[in-house]
């Protein structure tokens, strides 16, 4: 049976301050993400999914198994998009694609934030690409993941309140706007080029 594990973050718990505080990292990644992984490992035992890659579990499961698999994957993907002293703008092919599909980097950021703010309740906002390299901004409730739509995820922002409440209370828009300051565009670019 496959056992999924939680990877260690490539930065310290205080490295993303003031955008994401220590308490948020400790609770959001340390406890919430850990719980999804533990639940996933319990739910796949003795099922057809027990030896699948997590991406295949997400694409082919439903209910509690989908929710925990997708939330485990989403959170790891989210936290591994950040680095201290980053931000700035994408370069290379990703920058060209953003300009082609959204008009400019600033227009892309504006649309991405607006899409995240408009989602009612909990969920995610995503930048993904299709098989032709075209970029798409999507959002979805709860454990939504673009893998289920045949898209390749590149970047996501978490819209669940536990992602930002300790740092921003109910100010989701401010939270989304500040996350650009810690995006490691070299990682996002590699996801697009890969």
pTM for the whole thing?
A: 0.96
Q: Are residues 73 and 104 in the same domain?
A: no
Query: CB neighbours (10 Å) of residue 113?
Result: 20
Q: Is residue 4 part of a domain?
A: no
Q: pLDDT tens digits, the chain, 194 residues: what are they?
A: 789 999 999 999 999 999 999 999 999 999 999 999 999 999 999 999 999 999 999 999 999 999 999 999 999 999 999 999 999 999 999 999 999 999 999 999 999 999 999 999 999 999 999 999 999 999 999 999 999 999 999 999 999 999 999 999 999 999 999 999 999 999 999 999 86
Domain count, the chain: 2
Q: Give residue 106's domain range.
A: 92-193
Q: Are residues 96 and 181 in the same domain?
A: yes
pLDDT of residue 56: 97
Q: Is residue 30 part of a domain?
A: yes
Q: Are residues 97 and 167 in the same domain?
A: yes
Three-point CA angle 170, 172, 178, nearest 5° = 125
Q: Is residue 31 part of a domain?
A: yes
Residues in Cβ contact with 108 at an 8 Å cutoff, skipping those fewer than 6 apart: 98, 101, 102, 127, 137
């Amino acid at each position: 049976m496959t056992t999924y594990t939680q990877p260690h973050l490539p930065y310290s718990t205080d490295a993303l301050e003031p955008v994401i505080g220590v308490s948020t990292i400790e609770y959001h990644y340390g406890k919430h993400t850990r719980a999804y992984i533990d639940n996933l490992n319990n739910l796949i035992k003795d099922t057809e999914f027990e030896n699948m890659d997590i991406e295949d579990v997400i694409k082919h499961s439903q209910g509690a198994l989908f929710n925990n698999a997708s939330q485990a994957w989403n959170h790891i993907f989210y936290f591994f998009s950040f680095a201290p002293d980053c931000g700035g703008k994408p370069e290379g092919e990703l920058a060209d694609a953003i300009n082609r599909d959204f008009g400019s980097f600033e227009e892309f950021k504006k649309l991405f934030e607006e899409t995240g703010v408009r989602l009612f309740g909990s969920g995610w906002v995503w930048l993904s690409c299709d098989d032709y390299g075209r970029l798409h901004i999507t959002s979805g409730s709860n454990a939504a993941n673009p893998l289920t739509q045949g898209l390749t995820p590149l970047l996501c922002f978490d819209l669940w309140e536990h992602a930002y409440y300790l740092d921003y209370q109910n100010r989701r828009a401010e939270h989304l706007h500040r996350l650009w300051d810690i995006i490691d565009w070299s990682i996002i670019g590699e996801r697009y080029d890969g």
